[in-house]
Amino acid sequence: MPGPIRSWVAVKHGVDVVLARAERATGNVAMDRAPRKTSDFDRNAVEEAVRIREKFGGKVTALTVGPPTAKEALRDALAIGADDAVLISDPARPELDGRGVAQALAAYGRKHPEFDLWFFGEGSTDHFTGTIGPRVAAALGAPSLSYGRRVTVDDGAVVVDREYERELERVRAAFPAIVTVGQEINQPRVPTFMSTLKASKKEIRAVGPADLGVDGAEWAPTTRRERVFVPEVARKRQALAGADVAASAHMLLEALRAEGVLP
């Protein structure tokens, strides 16, 4: 039976894809002003770490990289059951790109190398590059086990069932290891009133580059985000309403034959 397990979970306070809207005039989405929420798969990642702690004991630490408003994602993680939380930010650069986020997380991992498992969502809801987990792992020289659909813990090692386009794999790696998970791995619990209240009272530790012994220059962006726009989909939006349902059905079939999409 494995002993207590120290799990970390990286969470992102990303753009809410349902609430984000394009400006009518330009078709552009103002990402910096869009509403935000915790990235979907990151909740699965927190849930998985919490389940492991419930089974084997240990501790779950949630980490995020971002401006102070990103604390919201940490509160969510605490409400699901994380024990403590760390906000990594650089006042000089409120918004980092993927490289910056990975560098910041790797700097934290180098300074405090005391994790057994470090969970990530396999991609973020807003940008979904799916690169942060494996990139941090590479920077730390740790194994990365991506696309986890089932995670079990063995003595000092993790076993991950994962899915690729054409094959399924079961792989195993000794601690410390980085694991990314998708939505199928679990159903994240819905925080209760009490757990949300408790989460809101927990202290969130804030650290910056200086605390991690770096100067932040290596967090500089290597991506210039030009714009995010919603492509125009010109649909006809013709409502078909005949005298009765049979008439509507005939109208539809006629329209589809005229379009040449039905023989």
Partner 1 sequence: MTGETILVFSEEPDAVLGLVATARSALAGTPGRVEAAMLGDGAAARAGGADRLYRLLLPEGARHDPSVAAAALQQVVDLAAPRLILVASTKRGRETAARLAGVIDAAVTTGVSSVALEADGVRIHREVLSGNAIGEEVLLGPNPIVAVMSSAPTGGSPAAAPTEVTDVPIEPGPARITLVERTVKPAGGLRIESAERIVSVGRGLRKKEDLALIQELARAMGAVVGCTRPIAAEAGWLSDDHWIGLTGHRVKPRLYVAIGISGAVQHLVGMRESTIVVAVNKDANAPIFAQSDYTIAGDLYAVVPALVRALTGT
CB of 40 to ligand FAD, least distance (A): 4
| Residue in this structure with the two tokens 């609430």, named with its chain if needed | 19
Q: Which stretch binds partner 1 (CB under 8 A): 71-79, 108-116, 199-207, 229-237?
A: 229-237
Site string for ligand FAD, 78-97 (x = CB under 6 A): --------------------
Instruction: Kindly tell me which residue out of 166, 193, 203, 213 binds partner 1, with binding defined by CB under 8 A.
Output: 166
Return the residues of window 151-210 that contact ligand FAD according to CB under 6 A.
Answer: 183
| CA atoms within 13 A of residue 229's CA, in its CB half-sphere | 10
Buried b / exposed e along 94-121 (16+ C-beta atoms within 10 A): eebbbbbbbbbbbbbbeeeeebbbbbbb
200: helix, coil or strand?
A: helix
Residue selected from 40, 48, 97, 126 as contacting ligand FAD according to rule CB under 6 A? 40
- Report helix, strand or coil for 70: helix
- In the bound state, the residue with its beta carbon closest to ligand FAD is 40
Is 165 a binding residue for partner 1 by CB under 8 A? The answer is yes
Strand partners, 38: 13
Stretch that binds partner 1, among 49-57, 72-80, 81-89, 143-151 (CB under 8 A): 143-151
Is the CB of 102 or the CB of 199 nearer to partner 1?
102
Q: Please report where in the chains the tokens 């509403």 appear, as a residue.
A: 35
d(CA 186, CA 180): 13
Cβ atoms < 10 Å from Cβ of 193: 8
Q: Using CB under 8 A as the criterion, what x/- string covers residues 100-119 for binding partner 1?
A: --x---x-------------
Asked if residue 26 binds partner 1 (CB under 8 A), the reply is no
- Please report how the helices 98-111 and 132-140 are oriented relative to each other, as an axis angle in degrees rounded to 10: 40
Interface with ligand FAD (CB under 6 A):
40, 183
